[in-house]
Structures are given as C-alpha cells and as structure tokens.
Structure 1
Amino acid sequence: MLSALCRERSMSCCHDSCCLPVVASPTKEESARWRRALWIALIVNAGFFLAEIIAGVMAGSASLQADALDFFGDTANYAISLAVTGMALIWRSRAALLKGMTMLVFALWVLGNTLWHAWSATLPHAGTMGLIGGLALFANGGVALMLYRFRSGDANMRSVWICSRNDAIGNLAVLLAALGVFGTGTGWPDIIVACVMGGLGLWGGLQIVRHSMKEVGRTTAEVIV
C-alpha cells in the first residue's frame, strides 16, 4: 500500500520518507562479496590507525592525528556493518544511524584537537607526514575502489562508501599539508587541513544520519501499514 502511494507521487518532488527508493535485501552472493570487502577494509583501517596515531604524535601533526582518528572510527564502523550484514533493512539503517552519530563525535574531537595545536603553535615534521600520508592514500585508494560498487545501496552500504571516500580525500589532504609545512616552515597548513578534514567528517556524518533516519522512518511506516 505504501509503495503504491509512492509510485503515484513519483512524478512530484517528494521530501517525506515514503518516497525514498525501495532497497531490497542483498542476495547471499552479494552479502558474501560485501563481507569480504568489509573485512579487507577493516584490516587496512585498523593497521593505519595504529601507524598514523603513533606517527601523528611523534611528528606533532594535527592532520595526521585527525586522519588516524578517522581510521579508528571507520574500523569500528566496518565492524558494525559486518555485524548487521544480512539482517533486515531496519537494523541496517539503525546501524548506519549509529555510524553517522559516531562520525559526528569524531569530527568534533578533531576540530577541538586542531584548535589546541593552533594555540600551542606546534611545528609538525613534514617528512613523516608525507611518508605516512602517501602510504595511507595508496591503501585507502584501493579500498575506495573496492567499495565503489556498493555506493548506491542502503544507508549502511552507502555509509561505508562515504567513509572510504572521505579517508582517501583526507590522505591526499595530509600530503598537501606536508608540502605546505615544508614550503612555509610553519604549522598553519597542517592546522588548515585538519580543520577541513573535521568539516568533511561533520558533513559526511550528517549525510549518513539524514539518509538512515529516512530509511528507519520508512521501514517503520511499512511495518505499521
């Protein structure tokens, strides 16, 4: 009944939850491919979280620490996605909502940490930033390409794609920050890039939260009807 109403209104501009695209549950084969991709992404992110948090502290780089925290958040998010794979859409949507809220919290931490570095006027080590940022970009670029096929799925799948896309963009930004620090001899390029990464995390988190809340509302309405 609800789907029929949506079809009747498909020619108009809809903003309510019932006019979201209907997302079917993945097949067993799709779920298996999804799980393999998530395990690879989880291992890569966990490894680079450890590498970047150590390198970020040693180098005094706010952008590396911001990127490391993003890796940590994504590792937890991928673990949540693995846990709900194959479940009903309502549970996948709720998991995506949790991930979106987590992204928002981490983004706020990044912005606060960046302000502290700006206040302390730290000068990061450009060489360490460039080396770790380059390795992370190579790894995350591969993960983003692997997850590209899932970008148009449900909120849970889309949230994983957004996370991987943001990671690759963040790694590239760290490289630019390293060049800026090397060229200017100041820490401001590092601070600016960390702020941008924090803002990107906020935007990505809001996207996921909006999408997942609409899916939760739609699936709840379908159950009631």
Structure 2
Amino acid sequence: MKQTEDNRMIYLVEDDESIRELLVYTLNGQGLVAEGFAYPSDFWHAMEKKIPDLVLLDIMLPEEDGLEILQKLRKKKETKNIPIAMLTAKGSEYDVVKGLDGGADDYIPKPFRMMELVSRVKALLRRGGQEQPQDDEEYVLGELYVSKKRHLVKVKGEEVTLTMKEFELLLLFLSNPGIVFSRAQLLDKIWGYQFDGESRTVDVHIRTLRQKLKEAGRYIETVRGIGYKVGGEE
C-alpha cells in the first residue's frame, strides 16, 4: 500500500540543539513524523530499529561528519535509495559539491526558510514514495542500455550504479529524445519543487551522471543558455 506523507518517518542529524528542536517541531507541526539526533551514534542506533523514509544530514557533526554518514548509507543495500538532503552552511560550495557527488538528492543551505524546507522535504517524500511501474521500458542508445523496471544501466555491457536522482534524470532524457530541459524544468520534474535561482543541484547531478556513464556520458548534451538534452539518434 502506498504511504502518505504523514505516516512516514524523517530522521534529522543536527548537533545544534536550537536548530534541531525547531526543525523537528516544524516538521511535526506540518503533519510529518520527525525525530532528531545530536550524535551520529544515536542515529545509527535508531537505524537498527527502523529505517526512515527520508534523512536530513548536517555536514559538521561530532563523531563523524554528514558526508561520511551519507557514504555509508549509499553503500548499504537497505538504505542506498533513501532520499537524503544535506544541510549545508550558506556559500559552502565545497560541501555542496561533495554532498551531491556522494549521492545526496538535495541540499538545503543554512539559514533556511522553514516553509521552503518543509516544501522540499515533502517533495522528496513524494518522489521517494512513488510506486514502481509494473511494465518495463527499455532504452538503447549506442553503447547505453537502460531497463526502467529493473533499475539497470549498462555501458558497453558493463553495469553502472546510479543514485535514484541520476537514474530518474537519465530516464527523463531517454524518454524524451531531442527535447531540451531547462534547469527549472528538471528541478520541477525530478525534485518536485520550483526553481529558485539555485542551479547547482541540477548541474552537479548532470556532471556525476556523465562521469558514471563514461563514454556514454557524451549522449547528454549541454544546450548553452537553455539546459540539457539527449540527442534523438546515435
């Protein structure tokens, strides 16, 4: 049965008590279920009891930083597809790029506007809770093969591991050959929220997707001043 937003669990790892309490209070007040942790060890203990539907991770933490936690979550089979958003210090470009490179689905710069954060959390929950299609769709473009149902990507016969957002981006391009998507359209279709002038989320995901696809990365073309597309023919 498909879950609704208000019965799904959000874990927040944030060592600043005032921020943690405010975030948990705000999320719970919006009909969401949220639990906060000051220490990564408490978070990992909770993970042994229940796997959440979404994780919010601060970068700077005691014991281990948020990027390390992100890497561990992405390596585990049972948590590799959980939607994860990083909470980053405003203007920390390095942390943003590292987080998205590591498989984060989104990042939210501090200080954040609470209602914007709630909106982005709900968008990630909706995307993460979408039911998988029963019918398979397969795509072949030159050296690239993609199976939608099996979440399988191969380049020259070799399997490639993508994050959920990278896979969704690739599917969107392949199912709309030759169509140019702007950053605003990609944010709306893949992340589920409106473009606010911040484009790093899209750009970094495109870059890591191209890198993982290796030779087939060239199929994702940049249309200067507009956005991205996959060509109609190879």
Q: Give TM-score scaled by structure 2 length.
A: 0.28
Higher-strand-fraction structure: 2
Look at both structures and tell me which one has the larger radius of gyration over its CA atoms. Answer: 1
Q: Larger RCO: Structure 1 or Structure 2 (Cα < 8 Å, ≥ 6 residues apart)?
A: 1
Higher-helix-fraction structure: 1
Q: Give TM-score scaled by structure 1 length.
A: 0.29
